[in-house]
Amino acid sequence: GQSLEQPSEVTAVEGAIVQINCTYQTSGFYGLSWYQQHDGGAPTFLSYNALDGLEETGRFSSFLSRSDSYGYLLLQELQMKDSASYFCAVRISGTYKYIFGTGTRLKVLA
Amino acid sequence: DTAVSQTPKYLVTQMGNDKSIKCEQNLGHDTMYWYKQDSKKFLKIMFSYNNKELIINETVPNRFSPKSPDKAHLNLHINSLELGDSAVYFCASSHQRHDGTGVIGELFFGEGSRLTVL
């Protein structure tokens, strides 16, 4: 089977740093993506890692270790507007199929 | 100018009815998808079309039938609706772009269609 596991919920305060982990088990791998979804909204693309290491985009960074089948999303200088659900996703190699993780609900407290 | 648009946004109907959801993208992408998001927010792929050809068909009941009249449109028809079909259905499209390290696949989602079956 194919699965991507994430913690169900993470809570942090404004200004803090939070890390959301994703471990995956898939039949093929083209890269790990991250999406943000606010309540009632659509998932929106945040970042993508094809190779091992850290990718930085503003306050958000994403890390991948292919040997460990593991990645994380790092959010710095948390703001209230970061309260949302975050999903990791893997594109299965040789296909156009994107499999999503179980999702992590991030609550940012004042 | 909405990139991926779905209609209707909300759908409330009785068990046993048939309903359709329409999706259009103006991004020029070749690949379109239907995802189902249940009450636990799990996003599950249902179907995908590439240039009007069905390329992904997950284990979805055959009451669900997608149709792609052209590569900018992907519709979903559901027959004999059941309570368990209640969910948010997202349409998405994708293109593949290269960033020097490989192919980046980024999904662009519509705003979702919330289906409630009573």
CA distances from A100 to A35, A44, B21, B56, B62 (A): 9, 13, 22, 15, 23
Q: How many CB pairs under 8 A join A and B?
A: 69
Mean pLDDT to the nearest integer, A14-24: 97
pLDDT of B116 over the 60 cut? yes
Measured between CB atoms, does A30 come within 8 Å of chain B? yes
Interface test with B, best of A36, A64, A87, A98 (most B CBs within 10 A): A98
Cβ atoms of B117 and A65 within 8 Å: the answer is no
Torsion of CA B61, A37, B2, B68, to 10 degrees: -20
Mean pLDDT to the nearest integer, A34-39: 97
Burial of residue A106 (CB within 10 Å: 0-12, 13-18, 19+) is: buried
- The answer, yes or no, to whether the previous bond of B8 is cis (omega within 30 of 0) is yes
Torsion of CA A92, A98, A102, A107, to 10 degrees: 130
Task: Give the span between the Cα atoms of A62 and A31, in whole angstroms.
Answer: 12
* pLDDT for the residue B60: 85
- Between residues 73 and 92 of chain B, which touch chain A (CB distance below 8 Å)? 90
Contact list in B for residue A96 (CB cut-off 8 A) is 31, 48, 50, 55-56, 94, 105
* pLDDT for the residue A28: 81
The 10s digit of each residue's pLDDT in B81-104 is 999 999 999 999 997 765 555 556
Are A33 and B105 an interchain contact pair (Cβ–Cβ within 8 Å)?
A: yes
Task: Give the span between the Cα atoms of B77 and B74, in whole angstroms.
Answer: 10
Nearest chain A residue (CA) to B47: A97
* pLDDT for the residue A24: 95
Nearest chain A residue (CA) to B94: A96
Q: From the CA of A99, how many Å to the nearest CA of chain B?
A: 7
- Exposure letters B9-42 (e unless 16+ CB within 10 A, then b): eebebeeeeebebbbbbeeebbbbbbbbbeeebe
Are A50 and B103 an interchain contact pair (Cβ–Cβ within 8 Å)?
A: yes
Nearest chain A residue (CA) to B30: A96
CA angle A14, A18, A20 (to 5 degrees): 140
